[in-house]
Amino acid sequence: MNNTAHVPFMDLVTPHARLAEDLSKVFEEVLRTGMFVGGPMVEGFERDFARFCGTRHCVGVASGTDALRFALIASGVRKGHTVLTVPNTFIATTEAITQAGAAPDFVDIDEQTYNMDSEKLLRYLEKHCRVDARTGRAVNKKTGRPVTAVIPVHLYGQTADMDSILDISQRYNLTVIEDACQAHGAEYFSAKGGRWRRAGSMGRIAAFSFYPGKNLGALGEGGGVTTDDDEIAVKIRMLRDHGQSQKYVHEFEGYNGRLDALQAGLLGVKLKHLPQWNAKRRENALRYNELLSGIEGVIVPYEPGYSRGVYHLYVVVVTERDALREYLTTNGLSTGLHYPVPLHLQKAYSRLGYKNGAFPVAEKTAKGLLSLPMYPELTEDQQEKVAEKLSEFMTSKESAMTGTS
């Protein structure tokens, strides 16, 4: 590959071109049968994805945001409750909390994994809450609101430390809802259970997104809820379909939040390739680690012993991020920022009253993080070019600073 070629941030064309024949067959089948909503394609994908995650149920919904919102509502989160999550996630996580009627609140992240710091979760519950003797629930001392659920986000495709989070949540009677929207197939070694567990199978409920850029993406919008709980699964099925238990029998008001049959069929084709795509992402991550580890001022992703991540994103933390990003862009290398402004500092959450300094680890990480190109089709040459330009910038900056250039 020549050295001036552009390296895109992701590639949504190549994998679909390779599967064009199988994907077209799904479309033809949908055309032939006219089964656009519900039916065997949806049921088939739900069965396959539940098996993939190791759960009893998967319910296909219209997006990851719907999956989160339905999971919260089905688990009993109501108006007046508080739900905890992290400040460094996509806003969909907290939008779903608000839309379920609750208020989001935040727990800072771990310095190395960028996922929820379980010690800070415990500290929040011990310091800021009292336990209501009647309900057994944690109540925030300042707001008087019961804290009823927690959403750990498996950010960048790496699971949060679920044993600790589950343990603390059990003690404080919190429902655990995994935001697995970036973590299809990610694994966590549960020391407690003595086995590897898949993302989406550890909390009471989990939410997946099948947005096109995710590790498993539809050719449009899509989402899924996984759970082992039969009752929750039934509730989610009703929530996605106007609260219907049967046609025109509405147990409660729900939503129009179903997964299209066409998307389910297309997802079914792609799911077969997911293990191999995830393996390629891991391989690429290892190669990046080797290429970048020696460079001063670059922190590569940390994978704890309990984690086998699926690298939805490969995120480094660097000094002078914005200048580096510009340098890479000038050299034809596309990068991303996930996410540049933590949610507690967004205008949308000014009502929560948080100031700079409230969640120092999330804030510091946000200033340095940079997502490098990452996808199964990324080549060794492309990765070497990224590493070369990154190294070039970091060393020139260093020599400029020490005046030895």
Closest CA to 187 of 162, 212, 152: 162
Nearer to ligand PLP among residue 227 and residue 263 (C-beta): 263
Nearer to ligand PLP among residue 92 and residue 103 (C-beta): 92
Q: How far is the CB of 206 from ligand PLP (least distance, A)?
A: 11
Alpha carbon separation from 223 to 42, 121, 233, 364 (Å, rounded): 12, 27, 14, 31
Nearer to ligand PLP among residue 89 and residue 201 (C-beta): 89
Cis peptide before 354 (omega within 30 of 0): no
Q: Could you say whether residue 92 binds ligand PLP (CB under 6 A)?
A: yes
Nearer to ligand PLP among residue 146 and residue 223 (C-beta): 223
Q: How far is the CB of 90 from ligand PLP (least distance, A)?
A: 4
Per-residue contact flags (x/-) with ligand PLP for residues 143 to 182, judged by CB under 6 A: ----------x-------------------------x-xx
Nearer to ligand PLP among residue 99 and residue 190 (C-beta): 99
Bridge partners (DSSP) of residue 39 are: none
Q: How far is the CB of 137 from ligand PLP (least distance, A)?
A: 26
d(CA 114, CA 312): 14
d(CA 222, CA 245): 22
Dihedral of alpha carbons 334, 340, 343, 345, sign: negative
Per-residue contact flags (x/-) with ligand PLP for residues 27 to 66, judged by CB under 6 A: ------------------------------------xxx-
Q: Which of residues 196-215 bind ligand PLP (CB under 6 A)?
A: 209, 211
**Token representation of residue 341:** 């402004």
Nearer to ligand PLP among residue 184 and residue 308 (C-beta): 184
Q: How far is the CB of 62 from ligand PLP (least distance, A)?
A: 8
Alpha carbon separation from 183 to 31, 104, 154, 177, 220 (Å, rounded): 32, 22, 6, 14, 18
CB 185 within 8 A of CB 199: yes
DSSP string, 219-241: SS--EEEEES-HHHHHHHHHHTB
Cβ-in-10-Å burial (0-12, 13-18, 19+) of 384 comes to middle
d(CA 323, CA 264): 42
Q: How many CB atoms lie within 10 A of CB 258?
A: 21
CB 139 within 8 A of CB 152: no
From 55, 88, 93, 263, residue interacting with ligand PLP (rule: CB under 6 A)? 93
Among all residues, whose Cβ is closest to ligand PLP? 64
Q: How far is the CB of 182 from ligand PLP (least distance, A)?
A: 5
| DSSP designation for 198 | E
Q: How far is the CB of 210 from ligand PLP (least distance, A)?
A: 7
Candidate ranges 3-11, 85-93, 248-256, 276-284; the one touching ligand PLP (CB under 6 A): 85-93
Phi/psi at 34 (5° precision) = 70, 15
- CB within 8 A of 33, min separation 6: which ones? 39
Q: How far is the CB of 181 from ligand PLP (least distance, A)?
A: 3
Q: How far is the CB of 25 from ligand PLP (least distance, A)?
A: 25
Candidate ranges 4-12, 73-81, 88-96, 170-178; the one touching ligand PLP (CB under 6 A): 88-96
Q: How far is the CB of 162 from ligand PLP (least distance, A)?
A: 16
Q: How far is the CB of 115 from ligand PLP (least distance, A)?
A: 11
Site size for ligand PLP (CB under 6 A):
14
The residues that touch ligand PLP, with contacts defined as CB under 6 A, are: 63-65, 89-90, 92-93, 153, 179, 181-182, 209, 211, 223
